[in-house]
């Protein structure tokens, strides 16, 4: 893994202050930073609290364009080397605010992006929502979601270490390790900027004619 600085964006859809969703997000980011530091790679972390963009997300949905502040947040995500996305589980799935953010992200912009997904909830019974709701959403966006998803129920924050059980700390470390390995092998594909390099017209004309 080359030692150039990597950028990590953390998207947290927690609503309360303080929020356990943010707490989990911070733990995941710290573990990722530590694993990269072991490899001698510096990490720049930017955390996006979706609550700060809640009005702008609705406005974007209604008007079709982002406010300057939201646009900067969206750009940070697509320009990152890796993404941590954490949501509370509401009604068997990600929160509406979490979904809004990915709804307004331009299509194809998460192509191949290494993503670690996490979620929080009141009881462990909602943990598979990560697998049946959050993972398919990111898979649809062509993101490279790491195998370990981290769910934290209220009781996880107090659970003592038991040898036979995977503690929250263990899961966080395993998932962070997977994210770092995915970020290490990711080839940055330069995004094609259709405004800087338009498809030449003769090519548009040929593809239109089905040749």
Q: Which is nearer to other proteins, 39 or 199 (CB)?
A: 199
Query: Kind of pairing, strands 82-90 and 114-121?
Result: parallel
Q: Which is nearer to other proteins, 91 or 195 (CB)?
A: 195
Cβ nearer to other proteins, comparing 147 with 195 = 195
* 137 CB-near residues (< 8 Å, 6+ apart): 94, 99, 102
Distance CA 18, CA 23 (A): 8
How near is the Cβ of 204 to other proteins at its closest, in Å? Answer: 5
Helix (H) or strand (E) holding 119: strand 114-121
Residues 6+ apart with CB under 8 A from 65: none
Nearest distance from residue 144's CB to other proteins, in Å?
Answer: 26
* Beta-bridge partner residues of 6: 43
Q: Rounded to an integer, what distance in angstroms lies between the CA atom of residue 200 and that of residue 89?
A: 46
Distance of alpha carbon 24 from alpha carbon 139, whole angstroms: 22
Closest separation in Å from C-beta 109 to other proteins: 14
Give 7 or 59: the residue with its C-beta nearer to other proteins: 59
User: Smallest gap, in angstroms, from Cβ of residue 87 to other proteins?
Assistant: 24
Which residues are at the interface with other proteins (CB under 8 A)?
55, 58-59, 62-65, 67-68, 194-195, 198-201, 204-205, 207-210
Q: Which of 44/75 has CB closer to other proteins?
A: 75
Shortest Å distance, C-beta 96 to other proteins: 15
């Amino acid at each position: 893994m080359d030692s150039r600085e990597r950028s990590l964006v953390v998207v947290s859809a927690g609503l309360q202050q303080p929020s356990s969703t943010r707490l989990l997000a911070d733990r995941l980011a710290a573990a990722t930073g530590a694993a990269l530091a072991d490899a001698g790679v510096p990490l720049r972390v930017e955390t996006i609290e979706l609550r700060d963009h809640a009005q702008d997300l609705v406005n974007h949905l209604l008007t079709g364009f982002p406010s300057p502040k939201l646009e900067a947040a969206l750009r940070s995500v697509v320009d990152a080397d890796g993404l941590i996305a954490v949501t509370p589980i509401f009604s068997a799935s990600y929160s509406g605010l979490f979904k809004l953010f990915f709804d307004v992200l331009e299509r194809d912009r998460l192509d191949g992006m290494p993503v670690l997904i996490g979620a929080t909830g009141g009881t462990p019974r909602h943990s598979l929502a990560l697998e049946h709701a959050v993972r398919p959403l990111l898979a649809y966006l062509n993101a490279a979601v790491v195998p370990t998803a981290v769910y934290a129920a209220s009781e996880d924050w107090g659970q003592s270490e038991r040898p036979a059980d995977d503690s929250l700390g263990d899961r966080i470390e395993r998932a962070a390790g997977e994210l770092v390995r995915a970020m290490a092998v990711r080839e940055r594909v330069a995004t094609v900027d259709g405004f800087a390099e338009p498809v030449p017209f003769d090519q548009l004309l040929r593809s239109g004619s089905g040749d």
